[in-house]
Chains A and B, each alone.
Chain A
Amino acid sequence: MTSLPSRPSLESVTTINDDGSRRFIHPATARGRFSHWRTIFAVALTAIYVALPWIKINGNPALFLDVANRQFHYFGLTFLGQDIWIGFFVLSGLGFCLFYVTALLGRVWCGWACPQTVFLDIARRIDGWCEGDATARRRLDRAPWTVGKTVRRFAKHGLYGLFSFLLTHVLLSYFVSLPRLYAMMTHAPGENWGAFVFVFLLTAALWFDLAWFREQFCIVLCPYGRLQSALIDSDSLVVGYDTKRGEPRGRKGTEGAGDCVDCLRCVQVCPTGIDIRQGLQMECIGCTACIDACDTVMTKIKRPTGLIRYDSRRGFEGKPTRWLRPRTLLYTGLALLGAIALTAATSTLKPVAVNLTRVTGIPYVVEGGVVRNQFLVRLQNKRNATVTFRLEIIDGPASLHWTGSEGGVTVTPLGEEMRTIVLTLPRADLKAELPLRFRVISSDGTIVDKPGTFLGPIMP
Chain B
Amino acid sequence: MTTKPDPAEHVPGEADEDALRPHSYDGIHEYDKRMPRWWLLTLYGSMAFSAVYWGYYHAYTIGPMPEQALATEMEENAARAARNSGIINDDVLWKMSLESAVIAAGKVTFDTTCAACHKPDLTGLIGPNLVDTQWIHGGKPMDSIKTIEEGVLAKGMPAWGAMLGKQKINEVTAYIFSHHKTGEEVVVVPGWTPPGAAPAAAPAP
**Which A residues form the contact surface with B (CB < 8 A)?**
3, 10-13, 16, 18-22, 213, 216, 220, 281-282, 359-362, 364-370, 372, 374, 399, 401, 403-404, 406, 417-422, 424, 426-429, 457
Whether the Cβ atoms of A368 and B117 lie closer than 8 Å is no
Shortest distance in angstroms between A379's beta carbon and chain B's nearest beta carbon? 11
Shortest distance in angstroms between B162's beta carbon and chain A's nearest beta carbon? 8
Chain B, Cβ-Cβ closest to A426: B200
B40 at interface, CB cutoff 8 A:
yes
Chain B, Cβ-Cβ closest to A375: B116
Whether the Cβ atoms of A404 and B158 lie closer than 8 Å is no
Whether the Cβ atoms of A365 and B117 lie closer than 8 Å is no
Residues of A within 8 A of B14 (CB): 3, 18
Whether the Cβ atoms of B1 and A419 lie closer than 8 Å is no
B64 at interface, CB cutoff 8 A:
no
Task: Give 4 A-B pairs besides A359-B158, A362-B154, A369-B202 with Cβ atoms closer than 8 angstroms.
Answer: A16-B33, A19-B34, A220-B39, A367-B194
Q: A368-B202, A374-B158, A424-B199 are in contact. Are A404 and B116 (CB under 8 A)?
A: yes
Q: A18-B17, A417-B112, A420-B113 are in contact. Are A428 and B200 (CB under 8 A)?
A: yes
Chain B, Cβ-Cβ closest to A417: B112
Shortest distance in angstroms between A4's beta carbon and chain B's nearest beta carbon? 12
Chain B, Cβ-Cβ closest to A3: B13
Chain A, Cβ-Cβ closest to B125: A403
Residues of B within 8 A of A426 (CB): 198-202
Residues of A within 8 A of B34 (CB): 16, 18-20
Whether the Cβ atoms of B116 and A420 lie closer than 8 Å is yes
Report how far A216 CA is from B37 CA in the complex, Å: 12
Kindly identify which residue among A10, A362, A406 contacts B2, using a CB–CB cutoff of 8 Å. Answer: A10
Whether the Cβ atoms of B5 and A365 lie closer than 8 Å is no
Whether the Cβ atoms of A12 and B33 lie closer than 8 Å is yes
B18 at interface, CB cutoff 8 A:
yes
**Which B residues form the contact surface with A (CB < 8 A)?**
1-2, 5, 13-14, 17-18, 31, 33-40, 112-117, 120, 125-126, 151, 153-156, 158-159, 162-163, 193-194, 197-205
Whether the Cβ atoms of A362 and B156 lie closer than 8 Å is yes
Residues of B within 8 A of A406 (CB): 120
Whether the Cβ atoms of B198 and A421 lie closer than 8 Å is no
Shortest distance in angstroms between B26's beta carbon and chain A's nearest beta carbon? 14
The contact sample of 25 A-B pairs, CB cut-off 8 A, is A16-B33, A19-B37, A20-B36, A21-B37, A22-B37, A220-B36, A360-B158, A361-B156, A365-B156, A367-B155, A368-B193, A369-B201, A369-B203, A370-B202, A372-B156, A403-B116, A403-B117, A404-B115, A406-B120, A418-B112, A418-B113, A422-B116, A422-B126, A424-B199, A426-B200
Residues of B within 8 A of A417 (CB): 112
Whether the Cβ atoms of B39 and A368 lie closer than 8 Å is no
Chain A, Cβ-Cβ closest to B116: A404
Residues of A within 8 A of B205 (CB): 366, 369, 427, 457
Kindly identify which residue among B18, B38, B159, B198 contacts A370, using a CB–CB cutoff of 8 Å. Answer: B198
